[in-house]
Chain A
């Protein structure tokens, strides 16, 4: 019945994506494993990691089913704590035998629901593997295990003159940062995770252990074979478990100078940024706070901030080069009607200057006490940033939403810190629709729907729109090649086809074939799972919360 219907849509049988989706989704076992499969697996887990390394406790599972996003908690069926790559491999083999989903867990500080066990399964908490291995000071590289967080690494490196500069907001696991291709406030100078990972040790779904650049290898550059290292960067646990990462370190800056400047408009602030970069100033951080955010900061810390679009700048270098950098920056900002340019050298004054930027999250929350905050994340070419920001601010006002803006303007990346009442279903819906519009606005301006946070649970359909059907097909092929049973973190990054759900949509689907977008209202009310349907070479994208 289902197949006959699908034949009407098009020549799907010859479509390789449909074929693989059909194979695993129709022949698939029930993932929310209960009963004997899980019992057998748990007994096997205990023989690998001992009694203490396995937990079925409800509270423990709940803790591992949520991160710092607003997605609801999806607890796994069991949590395990391996202590070595050999144990990870053994546990993965057991999961593979029993066809149990595998969900890697670092610090649980993700922002896109990446650890939600939407199909149940086994959560691998890799926190016990917390060694810093193989520091090579002259080569500026170090290898870390998944339990090492970025602050722990930098504290350990403090005597060496080296640091790892990628600094997302949370004190995240470095391997977790690799998995989500994280970035921080100084990406403009030091790059994101993509530019700073030399090698990875990965355990695949069937327990095979590979080293993406070869065991122990850490040349600063290579042309050897396919770039598997960067395949896994940003794969969000859907291709394998990262058990070691070899990272590129940088020298701790000799001296730091911070500066702040206000502008009459977003355009002026962004123009200054562009000119600074064009002038070749090796600026380390260039952060943007809009007027709504500056007002929130003013109220929060009772400091006399100018309520206007503001740039927060930080320069790294030798004492003499800093003088030059600051002079150039001051000239440029003045040329763009910037005012109140102040700068500082010593740590205490720099802290005070940047206080607004550091308190941004809390200042936003303080706008509406009792509410929660959710951070959007889009990135566009810098030249398109003013347009995106201006249109977004208009959207926020028209829809009566609280969304002060903070951004890494040097990368064209900005976040709206949406402050909302999670119990107000209408507001949640409006925020959800706003973030969809924001993502589409960024896509329309040559950008991406996620600059730093990843695709996770909520942006799978947007990924399809962003890269297009042919590229998505390639991503699906890679996923199928590396993890044909879809055990690795199912439900993240890639939309998967559920033939059974398509059947339920049968009555409404044909009239929508011509449309490019299906909205949540088009789906049956009891369906809460994302559905993507391929029609020939066209992709109909679907939207919905998971």
Chain B
């Protein structure tokens, strides 16, 4: 029986915000912008809490990497039902350059340290859309992975995962310990209620540094430039079909 679940939660710009590129094109504006938990991470937390409610796991630990503010995100996970949190402190330039490779190294180290049997992550983050952390974590740990999960069933010491793939649904059976990444239709995350938010304030969040876990967060990637997609240009109205055909020919389309 799986004893401990690690759930990764990422603090991202809220999905309802209109993202703006910084004037110097080095990134997007994050100051003063509303942030919240990545929606796929919410689904991951919900799945872990559901497993705990079914008494299939003993403890749910929420993990987040970043500066002080990510503790808010961990608190939301605690309000949803996670038992305790781990804040991996990464700030400044290191945080700007933090990507899936470093996070997966951190998750792998934590999984060993906390003796976790199951890691549930969101399939991707809505800011970078990488869709890599779950897969890399499984590879580093040499654990099986069930990604894009739309259904997860714990059967003894095996995990049945239904995956959403391009051609339809694929069902795989994984030996534990394993990594699962949550897709949209896995569940509907619960809202954090006030009493649970109050209870969450009392739950413990321990703080560690990547160095304590033996992880080097230096990035091998350098962001050169960030730009908005080109503005959509107005179309051209034509009066007749002949005009249309000649315009298409002019444009080399036919």
Chain A residues with CB under 8 Å of chain B are: 152, 155-156, 158-163, 251-254, 318, 347
Residue among A155, A156, A251, A347 making CB contact with B193, cutoff 8 Å: A251
Alpha-carbon gap, A318 to B34, bound state (A): 30
Residue among A159, A163, A254, A347 making CB contact with B195, cutoff 8 Å: A254
List 16 additional contacts besides A160-B197, A161-B79; criterion CB under 8 Å: A156-B14, A156-B16, A156-B34, A159-B36, A160-B192, A161-B191, A161-B192, A161-B196, A161-B197, A163-B191, A251-B194, A252-B191, A252-B194, A253-B193, A254-B195, A318-B195
B76 proximal to A (CB < 8 A) = yes
Pick the most buried of B16, B37, B194: most chain A CB atoms within 10 A of its CB: B194
Bits for B195-235, please: 1 = Cβ < 8 Å to A, else 0: 11100000000000000000000000000000000000000
- Given A152-B16, A156-B14, A156-B34, verify A162-B76 contact (CB < 8 Å): no
Listed by A's residue number, 10 A-B pairs whose Cβ atoms lie within 8 Å are: A156-B34, A159-B37, A160-B192, A160-B197, A161-B193, A161-B194, A161-B196, A252-B194, A253-B193, A347-B188
Chain A residue nearest to B72 in the complex (CB): A159
Alpha-carbon gap, A470 to B133, bound state (A): 71
Task: Give every chain A residue within 8 A of B195 (Cβ-Cβ).
Answer: 254, 318
Task: Give every chain B residue within 8 A of A160 (Cβ-Cβ).
Answer: 192, 197
Task: Give every chain B residue within 8 A of A318 (Cβ-Cβ).
Answer: 195
Alpha-carbon gap, A429 to B16, bound state (A): 45
Alpha-carbon gap, A161 to B192, bound state (A): 5
Q: How many cross-chain pairs have Cβ atoms below 8 Å apart between A and B?
A: 37
Chain A residue nearest to B18 in the complex (CB): A130
What's the least CB distance linking B31 to chain A, in Å? 17
Task: Give every chain A residue within 8 A of B188 (Cβ-Cβ).
Answer: 347
Bits for B9-46, please: 1 = Cβ < 8 Å to A, else 0: 00000101000000000000000001011000000000
Chain B residue nearest to A253 in the complex (CB): B193
Chain A residue nearest to B37 in the complex (CB): A159
Pick the most buried of A152, A159, A252: most chain B CB atoms within 10 A of its CB: A159
Alpha-carbon gap, A104 to B192, bound state (A): 36
Which 5 pairs across A and B sit closest by C-beta, in order of nearness? A161-B194, A251-B194, A161-B197, A254-B193, A252-B193
What's the least CB distance linking A174 to chain B, in Å? 15
- Given A161-B196, A161-B197, A254-B196, verify A155-B191 contact (CB < 8 Å): no
Task: Give every chain A residue within 8 A of B16 (Cβ-Cβ).
Answer: 152, 155-156
- 178-195 of chain B: CB within 8 A of chain A: 188, 191-195
B193 near A159 (CB under 8 angstroms)?
A: no
Task: Give every chain A residue within 8 A of B37 (Cβ-Cβ).
Answer: 159
Alpha-carbon gap, A161 to B194, bound state (A): 5
What's the least CB distance linking A190 to chain B, in Å? 15
What's the least CB distance linking B32 to chain A, in Å? 12
Alpha-carbon gap, A161 to B199, bound state (A): 12
Alpha-carbon gap, A155 to B191, bound state (A): 10
Alpha-carbon gap, A318 to B196, bound state (A): 11
Alpha-carbon gap, A158 to B37, bound state (A): 11
Alpha-carbon gap, A155 to B34, bound state (A): 12
What's the least CB distance linking A132 to chain B, in Å? 9
What's the least CB distance linking A265 to chain B, in Å? 37
Alpha-carbon gap, A160 to B200, bound state (A): 12
What's the least CB distance linking A490 to chain B, in Å? 36
Alpha-carbon gap, A251 to B198, bound state (A): 12
What's the least CB distance linking A251 to chain B, in Å? 4
Chain B residue nearest to A159 in the complex (CB): B76
A159 near B192 (CB under 8 angstroms)?
A: yes
Alpha-carbon gap, A57 to B88, bound state (A): 55
Alpha-carbon gap, A162 to B193, bound state (A): 7
What's the least CB distance linking A349 to chain B, in Å? 13
Task: Give every chain A residue within 8 A of B14 (Cβ-Cβ).
Answer: 156
Task: Give every chain A residue within 8 A of B196 (Cβ-Cβ).
Answer: 161, 254
Task: Give every chain B residue within 8 A of A253 (Cβ-Cβ).
Answer: 193
Task: Give every chain A residue within 8 A of B191 (Cβ-Cβ).
Answer: 158, 161, 163, 252
What's the least CB distance linking A317 to chain B, in Å? 11
Alpha-carbon gap, A129 to B97, bound state (A): 35
